Amino acid sequence: MESTQLIRVKAEEDVIRKLCELIEEIANKAIESEDVFKIGLSGGSLVNFLSAGLSKITTDWSKWRLFFCDERVVPSESPDSTYGAYRKSLIGTVPLSENQFIQIDPHLTAEDAARDYIRKMAPFFAPDSLPRFDALLLGMGPDGHTCSLFPGHRLLDETSVWIAPITNSPKPPPSRITLTFPIINNAENCIFAISGQGKAEMVKRILKDKEDLPAGRVKPADGKLFWILDEGASSLL
Ligand SMILES: O=C1O[C@H](COP(=O)(O)O)[C@@H](O)[C@H](O)[C@H]1O
């Protein structure tokens, strides 16, 4: 049964602090019980949040395995690459190595990269069942998209694959891969970390008006859902 926690804080720095405290708690619990912590990362503003806050937590970094909730199919040197952004801003501030990140192969087409990523993910999860991440860190675009699942896109109803390709993303770059909802909603913890007035209208449409928008479809079936919002992002609730 999903349980939702709305965490309202003052400013962006408090969103970062809360987010990282929550990650620390979930990571250390997973490491204690499973000897590994499996986390899915988003791009965009989340890269800055984690780069600013993660170095303050205490954890066994060697047990972390980092996946991507979505990734742009571009070389890791490209400013559009989510992995590239984490490599630049996070590795070095915390003792994570590149091989702890489960990366896409950017030389493939989006379709092949999605298939290849499923193949890379599979050994980390129990066979013959949906992957269950300990935590998925999610962003929300001003249009209500999360991962690379955009409003009105046919991928919102994709249930046949864990990871889907998208070649017509309305937000550039167009070629991406993304987790699909069955996997997202099978996670133990889904965490949105949102800051700023620019997201307030969309936060209201999703959390108050209950509009059917992609970020609003994140409802882990047997897990916890957290929305961490600063005053700007929660100002219309
Ligand atoms: O394109 C993307 O956008 C979303 C939201 O980004 P934000 O900068 O508005 O937080 C992000 O979560 C996703 O991973 C990314 O590919």
Atom 12 of ligand 1: nearest residue by CA position = 139
Q: What is the CA radius of gyration of the chain?
A: 16
Q: Is residue 111 pLDDT above 70, yes or no?
A: yes
- Angle of CA points 109, 111, 112, to nearest 5°: 65
For 202-218, give one letter per residue: b (16+ CB within 10 A) or e: bbbbbbeeeeebbbbbb
The CATH number of 4-175+188-205+225-234 is: 3.40.50.1360
Residue 158 C-beta-side C-alpha neighbours within 13 Å: 22
Q: What is the pLDDT of residues 13-44, one digit of tens each?
A: 999 999 999 999 999 999 999 999 999 999 99
C-alpha closest to that of 147 among 107, 189, 117, 190: 190
User: What is the share, in percent, of the chain residues with pLDDT greater than 70?
Assistant: 99
Q: What is the pLDDT of residues 183-198, one digit of tens each?
A: 999 999 999 999 999 9
Q: Is residue 3 pLDDT above 80, yes or no?
A: no
Residue 179's pLDDT band, with cuts at 50, 70 and 90, is very high
Give the number of other CB atoms < 10 A from CB of residue 146: 27
CA of 143 to the centre of ligand 1 (A): 10
Residue 1's pLDDT band, with cuts at 50, 70 and 90, is low
Q: Is residue 222 pLDDT above 60, yes or no?
A: yes
ipTM of the complex: 0.98
- Residue 169 alpha carbon, nearest atom of ligand 1: 1
- Residue 42 alpha carbon, nearest atom of ligand 1: 14
Strands in 3-8's sheet, in edge-to-edge order, are: 3-8, 224-229, 189-194, 135-138, 37-41, 64-68
Cα separation, 225 vs 222, in Å, equals 10
- Token duo for residue 167: 């070649």
Q: Is residue 68 pLDDT above 60, yes or no?
A: yes
Domain limits, the chain: 4-175+188-205+225-234
